[in-house]
Amino acid sequence: MPLSKYLANSVYCYDFPLRNLSHDLVDISTRRILVDIHGRIKFLNRSDSILLAMKDHYLKRKLESIEVKKKSISNLLSEMAKTGFQGRRLGEVFQAWEEMLRDENVTIFMGFAGSMSTTGQWKIVRWLIEKRFIDVLVSTGANISEDILEAMGFSYWQGSHLVSDEELYRLRIDRFYDVYADEMEYRKMESLIGEFTETLNPSYAYSSREYLYLFGRFLNEKGINSIVAAAYRNRVPVFSPGLVDSGYGIANVILRYKKNKKIIVDQMKDFEEIVKIGAESKKTGVIYVGGGVPKDFIQLVAVALEFVKGKDQPHEYAIQITTDSPQWGGLSGATFEEAISWGKESPRGRNVICYCDATIALPIVVHALAERVEKRINPPDFSLLLERT
């Protein structure tokens, strides 16, 4: 009878010492017998023992089912990490992020994609900055403009995706899937951006980091406690390589055509600055909420460091929460295994992707971190970079 049938039907396995037996792949120090459900005995030969050892290689970590009882969010996620599918991945995202926070030698970059601030997530990111659970933020323009609307005292509204968008347009209501915004309030946010931009030097080429640092100071002085205002206070650099793809672009076009005032944002200066942060870091970790431009802007830091430092310095930690999948070939869904081929992630690093809506995963993971980590020890200091602004 083939060994596979014995493996399938066996209920007992006994080991007996065996001398001077080895194999290129597996060291065999015992000879095994199997007893099947009918009590029949099979002595395993060398090849059978190797096959059984190979099976043991895969069956190492027992899955542990979750017991229902009172527990913290962090304990629940730790238990989920011992299960399967995306529940396991969510637990592993939490564990990897916690490891980063306890590693005193890592600079943590966060990529914040999409239009997440409209869904009630922006205060979570502001809290991460205030606690220094992230060291560098790379965001879409949307996330660091649409938070300002609510910080100004206006509101987003729960709505429905099953609605007449033609009617919403007539009423000047903007829709983000099932969230509404008053277009007139949105324009006031854009006007505030324009008011700030008008104070800048039109002949100076700003990086987005410089622009947003100064804007954070402007908002902080007005008592508007947005993401970039918190970043200004806590000296966390914020980059937005796609800044114009948002209210910032609209605000500055209005300024250009109504007041003949223009502003220069230098994208190459952006990349030079973020690569400098990477070069001055002992090691780096990345957190991606979504994918898009923020993800690859940070990923390319590791590629650039090979030329800047003359040696490989891939990201040692990498976690992503995304709904994008890899088979379409886009960067947002590209796996960390693929990124290893580019030198972006370390093959020996802590790399975890969780396929989940970030509006579900991010609040759960961050609340768990708040339970486990009270304070970050010795986060990196970018004062010299910021003071040159």
> Minimum mean pLDDT among 140-144, 300-304, 370-374, 384-388: which range?
384-388
Predicted local confidence at residue 141, as pLDDT:
97
CB 28 within 8 A of CB 21: yes
Which residue in this structure is represented by tokens 């957190």? 287
Mean pLDDT of the region 26-35: 49
> Minimum mean pLDDT among 41-50, 210-219, 251-260, 305-314: which range?
41-50
pLDDT higher than 50, residue 216 = yes
- Domain definitions of the chain by residue range: 3-58, 73-156+182-387
Predicted local confidence at residue 57, as pLDDT:
83
> Minimum mean pLDDT among 10-14, 98-102, 192-196, 305-309: which range?
10-14
Choice between 149 and 377, residue whose per-residue pLDDT is larger: 149
Residues constituting the chain: 389
- Token readout for 30 is 């015992």
Contacts for 5 with CB less than 8 Å, ≥ 6 apart? none
The whole-angstrom separation of Cα 326 and Cα 231 is 33
Residue of 112, 159, 53 whose CA lies nearest to 293: 112
Mean pLDDT of the region 110-117: 97
Q: What percent of the chain has pLDDT over 70?
A: 87
Predicted local confidence at residue 247, as pLDDT:
95
Q: Which CATH number fits domain 73-156+182-387: 3.20.20.140, 3.40.910.10, 3.40.640.10, 3.40.50.1980?
A: 3.40.910.10
CB 150 within 8 A of CB 126: no
Predicted local confidence at residue 51, as pLDDT:
77
Predicted local confidence at residue 28, as pLDDT:
40
Angle between helices 292-309 and 267-279 (to 10 degrees): 60
Predicted local confidence at residue 89, as pLDDT:
98
The C-alpha torsion from 292 through 294 and 299 to 303, rounded to 10°, is: 110
**Using alpha carbons only, how large is the chain's radius of gyration in Å?**
27
pLDDT band at residue 77 under the 50/70/90 scheme: very high
* Residue 324 main-chain phi, psi, to 5 deg: -85, 140
pLDDT higher than 80, residue 155 = yes
pLDDT higher than 50, residue 18 = no
The one-letter code for the residue type at 230 is A
- 149-152: long-range contacts at Cβ-Cβ below 8 A with a sequence spacing of 24 or more? 149/181, 149/185, 149/186, 149/188, 149/189, 150/117, 150/122, 151/219, 151/224, 151/225, 151/226, 151/229, 152/185, 152/188, 152/189, 152/192, 152/224
Predicted local confidence at residue 40, as pLDDT:
63
Choice between 163 and 311, residue whose per-residue pLDDT is larger: 163
Sheet holding 30-36, edge to edge: 10-17, 30-36, 41-43
* Residue 192 main-chain phi, psi, to 5 deg: -65, -40
Predicted local confidence at residue 47, as pLDDT:
75
Which residue in this structure is represented by tokens 């100064």? 214
Mean pLDDT of the region 143-149: 98
pLDDT band at residue 386 under the 50/70/90 scheme: low
Predicted local confidence at residue 37, as pLDDT:
59
- Token readout for 112 is 């914040």
CB 228 within 8 A of CB 144: yes
Single out the catalytic residue among 82, 261, 344, 375.
Answer: 344
CATH number of 3-58: 2.40.50
Choice between 285 and 5, residue whose per-residue pLDDT is larger: 285
The residues that bridge with 286 in the sheet, in sequence order, are: 109, 318
pLDDT in tens, 336-379: 999 999 999 999 999 999 999 999 999 999 999 999 999 898 89
Contacts for 92 with CB less than 8 Å, ≥ 6 apart? 81, 352, 354
pLDDT in tens, 172-198: 999 999 999 999 999 999 999 999 999
DSSP for residue 69:
S
DSSP for residue 83:
S
Residue of 93, 61, 62, 91 whose CA lies nearest to 76: 91
- Token readout for 225 is 């406690």
Please indicate whether the domains covering 3-58 and 73-156+182-387 agree at the CATH topology level.
no
pLDDT in tens, 228-275: 999 999 999 999 999 999 999 999 999 999 998 889 999 999 999 999
- Its pTM surpasses 0.85: yes
- Token readout for 70 is 């009172």
pLDDT higher than 90, residue 8 = no
Residue of 323, 306, 310, 314 whose CA lies nearest to 349: 314
User: What kind and span of H or E run contains 93?
Assistant: helix 85-102
Predicted local confidence at residue 24, as pLDDT:
38
CB 48 within 8 A of CB 3: yes
Choice between 205 and 40, residue whose per-residue pLDDT is larger: 205
Across all residues in the chain, what is the average pLDDT?
A: 90
Highest mean pLDDT of the ranges 46-50, 211-215, 260-264: 211-215
Q: Is position 344 annotated as part of the catalytic site?
A: yes
Mean pLDDT of the region 32-37: 57
pLDDT higher than 50, residue 19 = no
The residues that bridge with 111 in the sheet, in sequence order, are: 138, 288
Predicted local confidence at residue 50, as pLDDT:
76
